[in-house]
Amino acid sequence: MSRPVLEVVRLGLVSYSEAMRVQRFYVDRVKSRPSSAWTLLLCEHSPVYTIGIRTSQYPDRDLDLLRTKGAEVHKTNRGGLITFHGPGQLVCYPILHLGLLKKGIRWYVGQLERTVVDVCGQFGLRANTSPLTGVWIRDHKVCAIGIHCSRYVTSHGLALNCDVDLSWFSHIAPCGLDKGVTSLSREMQRRICVEESVHPLLHSFSRNFNCDLHDAAPPHLHRDPGPCPGHISGHS
Residues of the shown chain interacting with another protein in the complex, contacts defined by CB under 8 A: 52-54, 77-80, 102, 104-110, 133-134, 145-151, 175
Residue 117 C-beta: closest distance to another protein, Å: 16
Q: Which residue in the list 175, 193, 211, 228 is annotated as catalytic?
A: 175
Cα 95 from Cα 74, distance rounded (Å) = 20
Q: Which of 111, 206 has the CB closer to another protein?
A: 111
| Sign of the torsion angle spanned by Cα atoms 41, 54, 60, 86 | negative
HEC states along 78-99? CCCCCEEECCCEEEEEEECEHH
Residue 109 C-beta: closest distance to another protein, Å: 5
**β-strands 135-137, 140-150 pairing:** antiparallel
Q: Which of 59, 104 has the CB closer to another protein?
A: 104
Cα 42 from Cα 56, distance rounded (Å) = 30
- Which residue blocks in the chain are alpha helix, DSSP H? 16-32, 60-67, 98-101, 105-122, 184-188, 194-208
Q: Is 193 a catalytic residue?
A: no
Residue 112 C-beta: closest distance to another protein, Å: 10
Q: Which of 144, 201 has the CB closer to another protein?
A: 144
Residue 105 C-beta: closest distance to another protein, Å: 5
Cα 197 from Cα 178, distance rounded (Å) = 27
Q: Which of 66, 147 has the CB closer to another protein?
A: 147
235, HSE (Cβ side, Cα atoms, 13 Å): 3
Catalytic residues: 175
